Amino acid sequence: MIKMAKRRSRLKADTRKQKNKNIENTAEWRAAEWDYTAILANDRFPLLSPPLIGQKRIERLKEILAGCPEYYPVLFDLGYRYVQEGMDDNGKEYMDKGFESLKTLFNNKNVSKKELIETYYYVCEFLEKYLRFEMALEYYNQLLEIENDKANVYDHISYCFAYLGALEKAFEAQNVAIKLNDSNPRFFCNLGWVEFLRGNIDAAKNMLERALELKSNDEITKNNYDVYKLMHKNKKLKTWEDYLLRPIDYEDLDKLKRKNDFEKYSKQVQLWNSERLEAFKFHLIRNTNYSLSEKYDIMFTLNYIFDLTQELDLCDNFFYEDAAEVEFNFKLIMHKVILKTGDIDEEIFNGAYTALLEFYKFLAMRKVISSPAHRRLRKEMLELKPELIEKMNRYNEIRHNDEYSEEEIEEIREELFEGDYYYPF
Protein backbone atom coordinates (compact mmCIF):
# COMPACT_ATOMS: atom_id res chain seq x y z
CA MET A 1 0.00 0.00 0.00
CA ILE A 2 1.25 3.43 -0.89
CA LYS A 3 -0.58 6.22 0.83
CA MET A 4 -1.37 8.60 -2.01
CA ALA A 5 -4.13 11.14 -1.61
CA LYS A 6 -6.24 11.98 -4.64
CA ARG A 7 -4.46 14.60 -6.66
CA ARG A 8 -5.80 17.77 -8.14
CA SER A 9 -5.92 18.33 -11.88
CA ARG A 10 -2.88 19.72 -13.64
CA LEU A 11 -2.69 23.45 -14.12
CA LYS A 12 -2.53 24.24 -17.82
CA ALA A 13 -1.49 27.36 -19.62
CA ASP A 14 -4.86 28.77 -20.65
CA THR A 15 -6.10 31.53 -22.92
CA ARG A 16 -8.87 32.93 -20.74
CA LYS A 17 -10.15 36.40 -21.59
CA GLN A 18 -9.92 38.65 -18.56
CA LYS A 19 -12.38 41.47 -18.05
CA ASN A 20 -9.95 43.59 -16.08
CA LYS A 21 -6.98 45.12 -17.79
CA ASN A 22 -3.80 43.59 -16.33
CA ILE A 23 -0.53 41.98 -17.28
CA GLU A 24 -2.41 39.15 -19.01
CA ASN A 25 -3.79 41.62 -21.53
CA THR A 26 -0.42 43.03 -22.55
CA ALA A 27 1.45 42.29 -25.76
CA GLU A 28 4.35 40.90 -23.67
CA TRP A 29 2.10 38.33 -21.98
CA ARG A 30 0.52 37.28 -25.27
CA ALA A 31 3.95 36.90 -26.88
CA ALA A 32 5.15 34.73 -23.98
CA GLU A 33 1.97 32.65 -24.18
CA TRP A 34 2.44 32.18 -27.93
CA ASP A 35 6.09 31.12 -27.56
CA TYR A 36 5.38 28.76 -24.67
CA THR A 37 2.42 27.19 -26.43
CA ALA A 38 4.74 26.45 -29.36
CA ILE A 39 7.12 24.61 -27.01
CA LEU A 40 4.27 22.56 -25.53
CA ALA A 41 2.94 21.73 -28.99
CA ASN A 42 6.37 20.53 -30.08
CA ASP A 43 6.59 18.40 -26.90
CA ARG A 44 3.46 16.53 -27.98
CA PHE A 45 3.99 16.53 -31.75
CA PRO A 46 7.71 16.88 -32.57
CA LEU A 47 7.28 17.08 -36.33
CA LEU A 48 9.99 19.52 -37.36
CA SER A 49 12.40 19.33 -34.42
CA PRO A 50 12.88 17.20 -31.30
CA PRO A 51 11.40 18.43 -28.00
CA LEU A 52 13.55 20.89 -26.10
CA ILE A 53 15.19 19.23 -23.10
CA GLY A 54 17.96 19.91 -20.62
CA GLN A 55 19.97 23.09 -20.89
CA LYS A 56 18.48 24.02 -24.29
CA ARG A 57 14.99 24.12 -22.80
CA ILE A 58 16.19 26.13 -19.81
CA GLU A 59 17.79 28.74 -22.08
CA ARG A 60 14.68 29.01 -24.27
CA LEU A 61 12.44 29.42 -21.21
CA LYS A 62 14.72 32.16 -19.92
CA GLU A 63 14.41 33.97 -23.26
CA ILE A 64 10.62 33.93 -22.90
CA LEU A 65 10.83 35.28 -19.34
CA ALA A 66 13.11 38.09 -20.48
CA GLY A 67 10.14 39.45 -22.43
CA CYS A 68 7.56 38.79 -19.70
CA PRO A 69 8.99 38.01 -16.24
CA GLU A 70 5.49 37.53 -14.75
CA TYR A 71 4.45 34.69 -17.09
CA TYR A 72 3.91 32.05 -14.42
CA PRO A 73 3.56 28.90 -16.60
CA VAL A 74 7.17 29.39 -17.74
CA LEU A 75 8.30 30.25 -14.21
CA PHE A 76 6.98 26.91 -12.97
CA ASP A 77 8.32 25.00 -15.99
CA LEU A 78 11.74 26.50 -15.43
CA GLY A 79 11.53 25.58 -11.75
CA TYR A 80 10.72 21.99 -12.67
CA ARG A 81 13.62 21.79 -15.12
CA TYR A 82 16.13 23.02 -12.55
CA VAL A 83 14.87 20.49 -9.99
CA GLN A 84 15.19 17.73 -12.58
CA GLU A 85 18.78 18.86 -13.20
CA GLY A 86 19.52 18.69 -9.47
CA MET A 87 19.72 22.49 -9.05
CA ASP A 88 17.12 22.75 -6.30
CA ASP A 89 17.92 26.29 -5.14
CA ASN A 90 17.43 27.63 -8.67
CA GLY A 91 14.30 25.55 -9.08
CA LYS A 92 12.75 26.83 -5.88
CA GLU A 93 13.61 30.42 -6.79
CA TYR A 94 11.59 30.17 -10.01
CA MET A 95 8.70 28.30 -8.39
CA ASP A 96 8.56 30.98 -5.69
CA LYS A 97 8.39 33.61 -8.41
CA GLY A 98 5.63 31.63 -10.09
CA PHE A 99 3.54 31.67 -6.93
CA GLU A 100 4.24 35.39 -6.44
CA SER A 101 2.91 36.06 -9.94
CA LEU A 102 -0.14 33.85 -9.37
CA LYS A 103 -0.91 35.49 -6.03
CA THR A 104 -0.68 38.95 -7.59
CA LEU A 105 -3.17 37.91 -10.25
CA PHE A 106 -5.33 36.30 -7.56
CA ASN A 107 -5.36 39.51 -5.53
CA ASN A 108 -6.37 41.39 -8.69
CA LYS A 109 -9.22 38.86 -9.09
CA ASN A 110 -7.81 37.60 -12.38
CA VAL A 111 -6.89 34.14 -11.08
CA SER A 112 -9.44 32.08 -9.18
CA LYS A 113 -8.79 30.65 -5.74
CA LYS A 114 -9.39 27.20 -7.19
CA GLU A 115 -6.67 27.72 -9.78
CA LEU A 116 -4.20 28.92 -7.15
CA ILE A 117 -4.94 25.93 -4.91
CA GLU A 118 -4.69 23.48 -7.82
CA THR A 119 -1.27 24.88 -8.64
CA TYR A 120 -0.02 24.27 -5.11
CA TYR A 121 -1.19 20.66 -5.23
CA TYR A 122 0.35 20.09 -8.66
CA VAL A 123 3.71 21.60 -7.68
CA CYS A 124 3.81 19.53 -4.49
CA GLU A 125 2.90 16.38 -6.43
CA PHE A 126 5.80 17.06 -8.78
CA LEU A 127 8.19 17.59 -5.86
CA GLU A 128 7.06 14.37 -4.16
CA LYS A 129 7.66 12.46 -7.39
CA TYR A 130 11.22 13.76 -7.42
CA LEU A 131 11.65 12.99 -3.69
CA ARG A 132 11.84 16.67 -2.68
CA PHE A 133 9.60 16.11 0.32
CA GLU A 134 11.04 18.95 2.41
CA MET A 135 10.40 21.46 -0.36
CA ALA A 136 6.88 20.09 -0.78
CA LEU A 137 6.28 20.55 2.95
CA GLU A 138 7.11 24.24 2.67
CA TYR A 139 4.52 24.72 -0.07
CA TYR A 140 1.92 22.63 1.78
CA ASN A 141 2.34 24.97 4.76
CA GLN A 142 1.72 27.92 2.46
CA LEU A 143 -1.33 26.14 1.09
CA LEU A 144 -2.78 25.89 4.59
CA GLU A 145 -3.27 29.67 4.53
CA ILE A 146 -5.71 29.57 1.59
CA GLU A 147 -7.15 26.05 1.38
CA ASN A 148 -10.52 25.55 3.06
CA ASP A 149 -10.01 21.77 3.18
CA LYS A 150 -7.12 21.95 5.63
CA ALA A 151 -7.63 18.31 6.64
CA ASN A 152 -6.60 17.24 3.15
CA VAL A 153 -3.46 19.37 3.34
CA TYR A 154 -2.48 17.82 6.69
CA ASP A 155 -2.98 14.38 5.14
CA HIS A 156 -0.43 15.30 2.46
CA ILE A 157 1.91 16.76 5.08
CA SER A 158 1.77 13.48 7.00
CA TYR A 159 2.73 11.61 3.83
CA CYS A 160 5.84 13.76 3.34
CA PHE A 161 6.93 13.40 6.97
CA ALA A 162 6.47 9.63 6.74
CA TYR A 163 8.88 9.31 3.81
CA LEU A 164 11.38 11.58 5.54
CA GLY A 165 11.36 9.25 8.52
CA ALA A 166 9.83 11.88 10.84
CA LEU A 167 7.22 9.41 12.04
CA GLU A 168 6.07 11.34 15.12
CA LYS A 169 5.41 14.41 12.97
CA ALA A 170 3.61 12.22 10.43
CA PHE A 171 1.49 10.82 13.27
CA GLU A 172 0.69 14.30 14.60
CA ALA A 173 -0.23 15.69 11.16
CA GLN A 174 -2.48 12.73 10.38
CA ASN A 175 -4.27 13.15 13.71
CA VAL A 176 -4.87 16.82 12.91
CA ALA A 177 -6.43 15.75 9.59
CA ILE A 178 -8.78 13.39 11.47
CA LYS A 179 -9.60 16.02 14.09
CA LEU A 180 -10.61 18.43 11.32
CA ASN A 181 -12.58 15.76 9.44
CA ASP A 182 -13.42 12.52 11.23
CA SER A 183 -15.72 11.26 8.49
CA ASN A 184 -13.09 10.69 5.81
CA PRO A 185 -12.13 6.98 5.71
CA ARG A 186 -8.92 7.71 3.85
CA PHE A 187 -7.52 9.67 6.79
CA PHE A 188 -8.04 6.73 9.15
CA CYS A 189 -6.56 4.32 6.61
CA ASN A 190 -3.51 6.54 6.26
CA LEU A 191 -3.11 6.81 10.01
CA GLY A 192 -3.15 3.02 10.09
CA TRP A 193 -0.30 3.07 7.59
CA VAL A 194 1.65 5.53 9.76
CA GLU A 195 1.10 3.22 12.74
CA PHE A 196 2.52 0.34 10.69
CA LEU A 197 5.60 2.48 10.09
CA ARG A 198 5.85 3.22 13.82
CA GLY A 199 5.53 -0.48 14.65
CA ASN A 200 2.19 -0.11 16.44
CA ILE A 201 0.32 -3.03 14.89
CA ASP A 202 -2.70 -3.01 17.20
CA ALA A 203 -3.15 0.75 16.80
CA ALA A 204 -3.02 0.26 13.03
CA LYS A 205 -5.78 -2.33 13.32
CA ASN A 206 -8.04 0.11 15.19
CA MET A 207 -7.57 2.82 12.56
CA LEU A 208 -8.21 0.42 9.67
CA GLU A 209 -11.35 -0.91 11.32
CA ARG A 210 -12.60 2.65 11.74
CA ALA A 211 -11.89 3.31 8.06
CA LEU A 212 -13.86 0.19 7.09
CA GLU A 213 -16.78 1.32 9.23
CA LEU A 214 -16.90 4.48 7.18
CA LYS A 215 -16.33 2.77 3.81
CA SER A 216 -16.48 -1.00 3.88
CA ASN A 217 -15.65 -1.54 0.20
CA ASP A 218 -12.46 0.53 0.03
CA GLU A 219 -9.85 -1.71 -1.62
CA ILE A 220 -6.78 -0.01 -0.14
CA THR A 221 -8.15 -0.27 3.39
CA LYS A 222 -9.15 -3.90 2.88
CA ASN A 223 -5.70 -4.73 1.55
CA ASN A 224 -4.09 -2.97 4.49
CA TYR A 225 -6.28 -4.90 6.89
CA ASP A 226 -5.03 -8.11 5.27
CA VAL A 227 -1.53 -6.79 5.94
CA TYR A 228 -2.47 -6.35 9.60
CA LYS A 229 -3.72 -9.94 9.82
CA LEU A 230 -0.50 -11.24 8.30
CA MET A 231 1.65 -9.13 10.64
CA HIS A 232 -0.46 -10.17 13.64
CA LYS A 233 0.01 -13.82 12.70
CA ASN A 234 3.74 -13.55 12.00
CA LYS A 235 5.38 -12.03 15.08
CA LYS A 236 8.60 -11.41 13.14
CA LEU A 237 6.85 -8.70 11.13
CA LYS A 238 7.00 -5.77 13.53
CA THR A 239 7.16 -2.79 11.12
CA TRP A 240 6.09 -1.81 7.64
CA GLU A 241 9.60 -2.47 6.34
CA ASP A 242 9.49 -5.96 7.83
CA TYR A 243 6.32 -6.57 5.88
CA LEU A 244 7.78 -5.26 2.61
CA LEU A 245 10.85 -7.47 3.03
CA ARG A 246 9.11 -10.61 4.29
CA PRO A 247 10.21 -13.94 2.73
CA ILE A 248 8.52 -14.84 -0.55
CA ASP A 249 5.60 -17.22 -0.13
CA TYR A 250 6.71 -19.84 -2.63
CA GLU A 251 4.04 -22.27 -1.42
CA ASP A 252 1.27 -19.89 -2.44
CA LEU A 253 2.96 -19.26 -5.79
CA ASP A 254 3.27 -23.00 -6.43
CA LYS A 255 -0.47 -23.39 -5.83
CA LEU A 256 -1.18 -20.75 -8.45
CA LYS A 257 1.16 -22.50 -10.87
CA ARG A 258 -0.54 -25.87 -10.31
CA LYS A 259 -3.90 -24.21 -11.00
CA ASN A 260 -2.44 -22.75 -14.21
CA ASP A 261 -3.48 -19.32 -12.95
CA PHE A 262 -0.50 -17.65 -14.58
CA GLU A 263 -2.09 -14.21 -14.69
CA LYS A 264 -2.45 -14.08 -10.91
CA TYR A 265 0.95 -15.73 -10.54
CA SER A 266 2.56 -12.98 -12.61
CA LYS A 267 0.77 -10.28 -10.61
CA GLN A 268 2.01 -11.80 -7.37
CA VAL A 269 5.60 -11.80 -8.62
CA GLN A 270 5.21 -8.15 -9.64
CA LEU A 271 3.81 -7.37 -6.20
CA TRP A 272 6.78 -8.94 -4.41
CA ASN A 273 9.16 -7.02 -6.66
CA SER A 274 7.39 -3.69 -6.16
CA GLU A 275 7.44 -4.17 -2.39
CA ARG A 276 11.22 -4.72 -2.44
CA LEU A 277 11.63 -1.51 -4.42
CA GLU A 278 9.36 0.37 -2.03
CA ALA A 279 11.41 -0.77 0.96
CA PHE A 280 14.59 0.32 -0.83
CA LYS A 281 13.02 3.71 -1.59
CA PHE A 282 12.36 4.32 2.12
CA HIS A 283 15.95 3.37 2.88
CA LEU A 284 17.41 5.48 0.08
CA ILE A 285 15.57 8.67 1.06
CA ARG A 286 17.27 8.48 4.45
CA ASN A 287 20.71 7.73 2.94
CA THR A 288 22.89 10.81 3.51
CA ASN A 289 25.54 9.66 1.01
CA TYR A 290 23.51 10.96 -1.95
CA SER A 291 21.88 14.23 -2.89
CA LEU A 292 18.12 14.34 -3.51
CA SER A 293 18.62 14.43 -7.28
CA GLU A 294 20.99 11.45 -7.08
CA LYS A 295 18.42 9.52 -5.03
CA TYR A 296 15.75 10.16 -7.64
CA ASP A 297 18.15 9.12 -10.41
CA ILE A 298 18.94 5.88 -8.56
CA MET A 299 15.25 4.96 -8.23
CA PHE A 300 14.49 5.95 -11.83
CA THR A 301 17.47 3.96 -13.15
CA LEU A 302 16.63 0.91 -11.05
CA ASN A 303 13.06 0.82 -12.35
CA TYR A 304 14.32 1.33 -15.91
CA ILE A 305 16.79 -1.57 -15.68
CA PHE A 306 14.24 -3.94 -14.16
CA ASP A 307 11.71 -2.99 -16.83
CA LEU A 308 14.28 -4.03 -19.42
CA THR A 309 14.94 -7.31 -17.62
CA GLN A 310 11.25 -8.15 -17.90
CA GLU A 311 11.62 -7.97 -21.68
CA LEU A 312 14.45 -10.49 -21.49
CA ASP A 313 12.23 -13.09 -19.83
CA LEU A 314 15.15 -14.43 -17.80
CA CYS A 315 13.09 -17.10 -16.07
CA ASP A 316 9.49 -18.02 -15.27
CA ASN A 317 9.50 -16.08 -12.04
CA PHE A 318 12.21 -13.45 -12.04
CA PHE A 319 12.38 -11.91 -8.61
CA TYR A 320 14.50 -8.78 -8.33
CA GLU A 321 16.14 -10.22 -5.22
CA ASP A 322 17.44 -13.23 -7.15
CA ALA A 323 21.07 -12.13 -7.05
CA ALA A 324 22.26 -15.42 -8.60
CA GLU A 325 20.02 -14.89 -11.64
CA VAL A 326 21.25 -11.32 -12.05
CA GLU A 327 24.85 -12.48 -11.65
CA PHE A 328 24.43 -15.18 -14.29
CA ASN A 329 22.75 -12.80 -16.78
CA PHE A 330 24.52 -9.58 -15.88
CA LYS A 331 26.34 -9.20 -19.20
CA LEU A 332 23.08 -9.81 -21.09
CA ILE A 333 21.27 -7.25 -18.92
CA MET A 334 23.90 -4.58 -19.50
CA HIS A 335 24.00 -5.35 -23.22
CA LYS A 336 20.27 -4.65 -23.20
CA VAL A 337 20.81 -1.38 -21.34
CA ILE A 338 23.50 -0.24 -23.79
CA LEU A 339 21.49 -1.17 -26.87
CA LYS A 340 18.21 0.33 -25.68
CA THR A 341 19.55 3.57 -24.14
CA GLY A 342 20.22 5.79 -27.11
CA ASP A 343 22.03 8.57 -25.22
CA ILE A 344 24.04 6.36 -22.88
CA ASP A 345 27.44 7.65 -21.80
CA GLU A 346 29.80 6.85 -18.91
CA GLU A 347 27.74 8.96 -16.49
CA ILE A 348 24.56 7.04 -17.28
CA PHE A 349 26.47 3.74 -17.33
CA ASN A 350 28.00 4.43 -13.91
CA GLY A 351 24.55 5.44 -12.67
CA ALA A 352 23.25 2.00 -13.64
CA TYR A 353 26.05 0.38 -11.67
CA THR A 354 25.40 2.60 -8.66
CA ALA A 355 21.68 1.80 -8.66
CA LEU A 356 22.20 -1.96 -8.83
CA LEU A 357 25.05 -2.04 -6.33
CA GLU A 358 23.08 0.03 -3.78
CA PHE A 359 19.94 -2.08 -4.22
CA TYR A 360 21.67 -5.41 -3.66
CA LYS A 361 23.79 -3.97 -0.84
CA PHE A 362 20.52 -2.97 0.85
CA LEU A 363 19.01 -6.44 0.36
CA ALA A 364 22.11 -8.05 1.84
CA MET A 365 22.11 -5.64 4.77
CA ARG A 366 18.46 -6.53 5.48
CA LYS A 367 19.29 -10.25 5.03
CA VAL A 368 16.90 -10.68 2.11
CA ILE A 369 19.86 -12.12 0.19
CA SER A 370 22.94 -13.75 1.67
CA SER A 371 26.23 -11.91 2.01
CA PRO A 372 28.05 -14.47 -0.22
CA ALA A 373 25.42 -14.01 -2.96
CA HIS A 374 25.87 -10.25 -2.75
CA ARG A 375 29.67 -10.53 -2.90
CA ARG A 376 29.55 -12.82 -5.94
CA LEU A 377 27.23 -10.45 -7.80
CA ARG A 378 29.35 -7.43 -6.94
CA LYS A 379 32.52 -9.24 -8.05
CA GLU A 380 30.93 -10.21 -11.38
CA MET A 381 29.73 -6.66 -11.98
CA LEU A 382 33.09 -5.06 -11.26
CA GLU A 383 35.05 -7.58 -13.30
CA LEU A 384 32.81 -7.01 -16.34
CA LYS A 385 32.79 -3.22 -16.07
CA PRO A 386 35.88 -2.40 -18.21
CA GLU A 387 34.70 -4.71 -21.00
CA LEU A 388 31.18 -3.28 -20.97
CA ILE A 389 32.38 0.33 -20.98
CA GLU A 390 34.62 -0.43 -23.96
CA LYS A 391 31.66 -1.95 -25.81
CA MET A 392 29.48 1.03 -24.97
CA ASN A 393 32.07 3.53 -26.23
CA ARG A 394 32.65 1.56 -29.42
CA TYR A 395 28.94 1.29 -30.12
CA ASN A 396 28.44 5.00 -29.44
CA GLU A 397 31.04 5.77 -32.10
CA ILE A 398 29.01 4.08 -34.83
CA ARG A 399 25.36 3.98 -33.76
CA HIS A 400 24.56 7.46 -35.16
CA ASN A 401 27.48 7.81 -37.55
CA ASP A 402 26.32 8.40 -41.13
CA GLU A 403 29.66 7.15 -42.44
CA TYR A 404 28.57 3.59 -41.62
CA SER A 405 25.91 1.78 -43.57
CA GLU A 406 23.16 -0.05 -41.69
CA GLU A 407 24.76 -3.34 -42.72
CA GLU A 408 28.13 -2.26 -41.29
CA ILE A 409 26.49 -1.11 -38.04
CA GLU A 410 24.71 -4.44 -37.72
CA GLU A 411 27.98 -6.35 -38.22
CA ILE A 412 29.66 -4.32 -35.48
CA ARG A 413 26.66 -4.88 -33.17
CA GLU A 414 26.96 -8.62 -33.71
CA GLU A 415 30.68 -8.44 -32.99
CA LEU A 416 30.25 -6.38 -29.81
CA PHE A 417 27.21 -8.03 -28.28
CA GLU A 418 27.51 -11.55 -29.68
CA GLY A 419 24.26 -13.51 -29.60
CA ASP A 420 22.76 -11.05 -27.13
CA TYR A 421 22.13 -8.66 -30.02
CA TYR A 422 19.32 -10.96 -31.15
CA TYR A 423 17.92 -11.70 -27.68
CA PRO A 424 15.30 -10.28 -28.05
CA PHE A 425 16.18 -6.79 -29.26
109 alpha-carbon distance from chain centroid: 36
Distances (CA, A) of 396 to 255, 383, 389, 414, 419: 47, 21, 10, 14, 19
How many other C-beta atoms lie within 10 A of the C-beta of residue 172?
15
Distance of alpha carbon 15 from alpha carbon 384, whole angstroms: 55
CATH number of the domain at 162-244, please?
1.25.40.10
State the Cα–Cα distance between residues 133 and 128, nearest whole angstrom: 5
Closest CA to 240 of 302, 192, 208, 168: 192
Segments making up each domain of the chain, as ranges: 1-148, 162-244, 254-422
- Using CA atoms, how far apart are residues 145 and 401, in angstroms rounded to an integer? 57
Block mean pLDDT (10 aa), the chain, length 425 = 43 39 81 93 81 89 95 96 95 97 88 94 97 98 97 98 97 98 98 97 97 96 96 94 95 90 90 96 95 96 93 78 95 93 92 98 97 98 96 89 83 81 52
**Interacting residues of 110 by C-beta distance below 8 A, sequence separation 6+:** 18, 20, 22, 24
CB 108 within 8 A of CB 22: yes
Same fold, 1-148 and 162-244: yes
Q: Give the model's pLDDT for residue 422.
A: 56
Q: Residue 164: its pLDDT value, please?
A: 96
Considering the segment(s) 1-148 as one domain, its CATH architecture is: Alpha Horseshoe (1.25)
Q: What is the pLDDT of residue 17?
A: 38
268-280 per-residue burial string, b: 16 or more CB within 10 A, e: under 16? bbeebbebbbbbb
The predicted model scores a pTM of 0.88
Q: What is the predicted pLDDT for the residue at 15?
A: 37
Asked whether the beta carbons of 7 and 125 are under 8 A apart, the reply is yes
Question: Using CA atoms, how far apart are residues 361 and 87, in angstroms rounded to an integer?
Answer: 28
